[in-house]
Amino acid sequence: MELPVLVIGNKNYSSWSLRPWLALKQAGFAFEEVRISLDSSETRAQILAYSPSGKVPVLTHGKLRIWESLAICEYVAEQLPEAGLWPADPAVRAVARAASCEMHAGFAALRAGMPMDTRARHTHWPMPPAVMDDIDRIANLWRRCRMEYGNGGDFLFGRFTIADAMYAPVVTRFISYGVLLDEDLGQYCEALLALAPFQRWLEEARREIETIDIPRP
Ligand SMILES: N[C@@H](CCC(=O)N[C@@H](CS)C(=O)NCC(=O)O)C(=O)O
């Protein structure tokens, strides 16, 4: 069978693409990558050639099509259980899934008010109250995961898991928008950013030539 293909958007802008891309790279899952620029007249048709939802990311593996970032991560976690993409303990795994689902389903104000643009450095302060609430909730969630389940490791649940991949675009947003964090959470962000695949993604984002004007509310 041919290699799976992960179809993604612009590395500078597509936060949903970053999540499974990082998880798959960290797991050592072999895949090819197809990048579709998200702001052209051909974008929709190009994405629909791969993805029934008309959105990226989508993973194709033979005849299988897996759309939705979190479902792609789950698929690879099951394909490569030895990669430890979820915590081994069922109770901790359930919490890691809850943290991941909360990101996948929530934080609409933060996603709209602080769109991912890894190259940008903004000074849009003060942020609207709903964005501040999302920032506070994320900081509390990270702190609690690290305190209760981190075992002194670098990541939310000690070792890198899908939960870290789900929050990776939040780390780039916190840098772009100058969100200040306490020392422990700052170190968490640095550990995530130091991952070689994350560095590679950011470098490739820097080299992209497209610029997309993302409207902020
Ligand atoms: N819930 C989806 C969200 C996917 C999504 O919204 N992707 C954006 C790019 S980050 C997209 O494909 N937009 C289509 C477009 O801009 O034409 C997931 O988790 O994968």
Q: How far does the centroid of ligand 1 lie from the alpha carbon of residue 139, in Å?
A: 24
pLDDT single digits (tens) 168-185: 999 999 999 999 999 999
How many CA within 13 A on the CB side of residue 13?
Answer: 17
DSSP 122-137: ----SPPHHHHHHHHH
pLDDT at 140 over 80: yes
Q: Of all protein residues, whose CA lies closest to atom 13 belonging to ligand 1?
A: 55
Confidence of residue 216 (pLDDT cuts 50, 70, 90): low
Given this model, what pLDDT does residue 56 score?
Answer: 98
**Quick check: 115 pLDDT over 70?**
yes
- Measured CA distances, 157 to 44, 86, 163 (Å): 37, 9, 8
Q: How far is the CA of 149 from the centre of ligand 1 (A)?
A: 31
- pLDDT averaged over the chain? 96
Measuring from atom 5 of ligand 1, which residue has the nearest CA? 55
Q: Is the pLDDT of residue 24 over 70?
A: yes
Cα separation of 78 and 3, whole Å? 17
Q: What is the pLDDT of residues 76-110, one digit of tens each?
A: 999 999 999 999 999 999 999 999 999 999 999 99
Q: Which domains does the chain have, with CATH numbers?
A: 5-82+202-207 (3.40.30.10), 84-196 (1.20.1050.10)
Ligand 1 centroid to residue 38 C-alpha, Å: 9
